[in-house]
Structure 1
């Protein structure tokens, strides 16, 4: 049987490592555990990742690529931009409140931990979070243009405030092990966008 293509092996390592990192954090997961879970030899790991730090960068880049692709899909659905924004945040709430594979946010889990450990990983987090805010701001601008959101909104300021609110709510929901902080974030989102609570 032929060996899988190099990109498949690299992606396989990233795929199996992400749940470990979500559960334990970056520093608590050792290389031996990653290798054992992925069932790849040590040489394969270093072939694709020059160091554990480079591996951490790749995991975060893959996480944000997936998140941004899902975000793009949700924010380009048919309908008014306000409805698409609320749909995105409903998806966030469902993913954070559930028990499934998407029920944790890697930016929340690793953000505080790795920013003081690795400048390169911090930079990946910064780029990823900036991309999320930019997409939210574009959708808010679209809502102002289509009349579904108030014209007076400062799109970037509101987008940044909403993202900060949801990151904080995700962390508080994790601490409290309940979804109430996420419900509060949803109510605040509607208020910040000038929408009725049933939109």
Structure 2
């Protein structure tokens, strides 16, 4: 009979996500994970299969949280432009409030692995596709309400917004403050 697990796997995935987010996949050793999670090497491998499998779970956890945040954006009330502006300003403020300036784990993963890892690329693309659909639905709502221009297709505007958001998440890692990002947000939203 095996020993019972001495840790909560969901908590371990959350903790691992924080480590990978801060250090990247390559910068995170199995020993670092073991130390952070407070588990033995055997537990790491028995529970998760290894560093890569734990990274996949951590990234999935992050992507699910992102999806929930995007769903919440759709559920808010008020003019679409102001909801978008407020959400994007909050995103910029949140990125700059993080003393480690981690940016976005999904974008960090895309930059670290590029297209060299098909499975990770597919996970990030899945998040981007879902975000794109959410933005398109939001923009269509704004078009019906007269808040968003009808001169452009909502699908094209969603692609512009998605590109803006991903660029902002990368810029947050190197900018000295949110001012340039907020100017880009305001200009993009005003163009809608």
- Name the TM-score class by shorter chain: 0.7 to 0.9
Tell me the distance in 2 between the aligned counterparts of 1:182 and 1:138: 24
CA RMSD across the alignment: 2.5
Match of 2:151 in 1: 152
Question: Residues 21-100 of structure 1: matches in 2 within 5 Å?
Answer: 21-99=20-98
Structure 1 residue runs of 5 or longer lacking an equivalent are 194-199
Query: Under a length normalisation based on structure 2, what TM-score does the superposition of the two structures give?
Result: 0.86
Residues 1:192 and 2:191 are matched in the alignment: yes
The offset of 1:49, in angstroms, is 2.4
Q: What displacement does 1:119 show? A: 1.6
Partner of 1:121, secondary structure, is helix
Question: What's the counterpart of residue 11 of structure 2?
Answer: 12
Give structure 2 stretches of 5+ with no counterpart.
none
Larger RCO (alpha carbons 8 Å, 6+ apart):
2
> 2: CA distance between counterparts of 1:163 and 1:16?
28
Q: Distance in 1 between matches of 2:32 and 2:186?
A: 41
Distance 1:66 1:50 in 2: 23
Change (3 A) 1:102 1:146: farther
Q: 1:48 to 1:122 in 2, by over 3 A?
A: farther
Structure 1 residue ranges (4+ consecutive) displaced by more than 6 angstroms after TM superposition: 100-103
Task: Give TM-score scaled by structure 1 length.
Answer: 0.83
Deviation at 1:28, TM superposition (A): 0.9
Q: 2:112 maps to what in 1? A: 113
How many aligned positions are there?
190
Distance 2:5 2:152 in 1: 50
In structure 1, distance between residues paired with 2:68 and 2:171: 26
1:15 & 1:151 partners in 2: Cα distance? 42
